[in-house]
Structure 1
Amino acid sequence: MKKLITNVAVAAVTAGAAASAVAAGEAAPALPQLQYEAETPVTPQLLKLMNAYIFLLAQNKLDDWIKIWADDAVLEFPYSPKGRQSVYVGKPAILEYHQQTTGKIKITRIVSARIHQLADPNTAISELEIEGSIIGTNAPYDQKYVTFFQMKDGKLWRYREYWNPLITIAAFGGDIKAWTEAYGKKE
């Protein structure tokens, strides 16, 4: 049986997107409040951590966002561009990566979100579909993500994100070099 879980954080993401638009002199987007569709009950502490991840990152509050991570955390992007780092270990490396990449994409709508709690109560998978655009070019960026969240001692210990790189390349005008340079450090 599927259960809808209100995702307070994504409602805050909506508010943040509206605030960003207003600050940029644009009309605030009318975005619906997102709800996660859960296949199984989700550990409340893990759901809270997932919400904090989304909320703080969307608000570009990186100083607060990095506090939810364990000191020995691992951030993974298996589909990173060739020649770019795909694994970041430890809070300093994770923060540095996000300081370089945050602010390149504007999310205008979260189309859907699902959570799948795994047998391990500290691990869940989320499926997220967004609509947005590339900041600076306004090129469309409609993407689907599958993310793995793993918690240890109440902190985010491992995060793995899968996305379709072809969509991202197209959003950067089909320019693989521009896409590659937009994400992360060289290996």
Structure 2
Amino acid sequence: MTTDDAIRDRTLKSVRSYLDLMRAQRWDEWIDLWADDAILKFPYAPEGRQGVFKGKEAILTYMSGTTGKISVDSVADLQIYPMLDPEAATVELEINGRLLLDDTPYNQRYITIFQFKGGKIQHYREYWNPLISMKAYGGYDAWMAQFAGGQSGDTA
């Protein structure tokens, strides 16, 4: 196995661990996958929602704030795509779930791009449709109110 193959295998294993730990909301283990100076970006974050989180502490605070908001009933169409760079991967998936607040259906598609450095997540970009989230919560204002002015909340 070439060095690139071994690095790619490690990258794909880490992506799978990321997904499993996030689904289980095992945040203390999940954050260990990240580099200390990692960057998490939501390029389609609407006005009023923070779109960039820098460093493990900010990332953990944001993501652990999702607990108790959405129940993921199933994950469909999970595809993990290795890239030419052995420390990069793209993931596409759909979640089918509901808001715990009132049982409103919440079905969302995500595309995420992982960039690792030395086996840790260095840069993460997540693409999702914020209109689906806003609709589930009853509109922009209700969605923003649910997530403390947009600084914490769901990943969608």
TM range (shorter): 0.7 to 0.9
In the alignment, the residues of structure 2 paired with residue 90 and residue 162 of structure 1 have an alpha-carbon distance, to the nearest angstrom, of: 20
For 1:18-167, what aligned pairs fall within 5 Å after superposition?
A: 43-167=8-132
* Identity of matched residues, %: 45
Q: Tell me the TM-score normalized by structure 2.
A: 0.85
CA contact (8 A) 1:81 1:180 kept: no
Cα-to-partner distance string for 1:103-146 (whole Å, 9 max, x where unaligned) = 31111111211122222111111110121111121101111100
Q: Could you list the runs of 5+ residues in structure 2 that have no partner in the other structure? A: 1-6
Amino acid corresponding to residue 185 of structure 1 in structure 2: Q
Displacement of 1:92 after TM fit? 0.7
Structure 1 segments, 4+ long, off by >3 Å, are 181-184
In the alignment, the residues of structure 2 paired with residue 81 and residue 101 of structure 1 have an alpha-carbon distance, to the nearest angstrom, of: 18
In the alignment, the residues of structure 1 paired with residue 146 and residue 44 of structure 2 have an alpha-carbon distance, to the nearest angstrom, of: 14
CA contact (8 A) 2:94 2:110 kept: yes
In the alignment, the residues of structure 1 paired with residue 65 and residue 37 of structure 2 have an alpha-carbon distance, to the nearest angstrom, of: 20
In the alignment, the residues of structure 2 paired with residue 148 and residue 99 of structure 1 have an alpha-carbon distance, to the nearest angstrom, of: 20
Structure with the larger RCO, 1 or 2 (CA within 8 Å, 6+ apart): 2
Q: Tell me the TM-score normalized by structure 1.
A: 0.72
Displacement of 1:83 after TM fit? 1.5
Amino acid corresponding to residue 18 of structure 2 in structure 1: Y
Amino acid corresponding to residue 143 of structure 2 in structure 1: W
Bigger CA drift: 176-185 or 89-98?
Answer: 176-185
In the alignment, the residues of structure 2 paired with residue 53 and residue 103 of structure 1 have an alpha-carbon distance, to the nearest angstrom, of: 19
Q: Could you list the runs of 5+ residues in structure 1 that have no partner in the other structure? A: 1-41
RMSD: 1.7
